[in-house]
Chains A and B, each alone.
Chain A
Amino acid sequence: MQAALVDRAKQGDKEAFDALARMVGDRCMAIACRILRDTDLAEDAVQSALITAWRELRSLRNSDRFEPWLHRILANACYAEARHRRRWSSAIGVLPVELGASRDETLTVDIRDQLERAFRRLTAEQRAVLVFHFYVGLPVPEVADRLGIPLGTAKSRIHHATSALRASLEADARTPSQERTA
């Protein structure tokens, strides 16, 4: 069904593209929100990605690959939004990401706070590989494929990003007495 909508949208059918956007929009929002950690920026990134997708849709060879193709555009839109935010970040305070209804009880407030801080220190490119691997659930070769990066680069980014997050968790788990004796 999705491929049929893509084919119609390629012919300039705006209704078909609108239906397609509504089919994939929530998933795009979830990915962008997790990469950017900011709802407004995520909305801007998804909007930009969908408009780019409409404009460039005829360059998509395989209509069955619409969503992976869109995710790559979305990742690039997120990088662009992250760069813009970095440019103005000195003047903007960081708001905590909205947890919505999906709050996980296994995460304590401290752990969530540590992960949030560590995650925000990662580059947008590192966050993207984590999101596609841990949240979307893609194996590393597919993450590399989806983001258009070499497999080695994807592995390296995941390694460095997870190491940074693990380090933050270990720092949190360390008791003050352990720190004094270390």
Chain B
Amino acid sequence: MKLVVKPERCTGCTGCALACSLAKIGMFSYDAARIRVERNEEHADFRPRVCIQCDEPSCIAACPSGALSKDLRLGIIVVEIESCTFCRKCEDACPYGGISFNDEDRGPLICDLCGGEPACVDACRFPQAISIVEGVQP
């Protein structure tokens, strides 16, 4: 299972980020969301930034403390928060801009697919800028 992002379909509504933060911390906060939307309003250029569970995660390779690993069953990146040194090298390494840091959470914010039913996807049913595909090999 993985997220598929089609930025050209994004409407810039940020409903995904609001749904994500509600799912993760029970509050609405763009900073706490694991998906962010870069919005250039003048040119209506909107780009969701989120982990897409890629096959060769450069974040894992970039992590000097071994805090990141891949869950082979779900395909998600798992963070071992005790090992994270907060160096943010994973954030720089991700070519999709899928990792962000929030000072309060003290660790990388990476999509965990909400255990299989991502909250963001239901907020994006018409444009389908974010959707989920099943059965992808880990």
The answer to whether A and B assemble together is: no
Interface residues of B (CB under 8 A from A): none
Interface residues of A (CB under 8 A from B): none
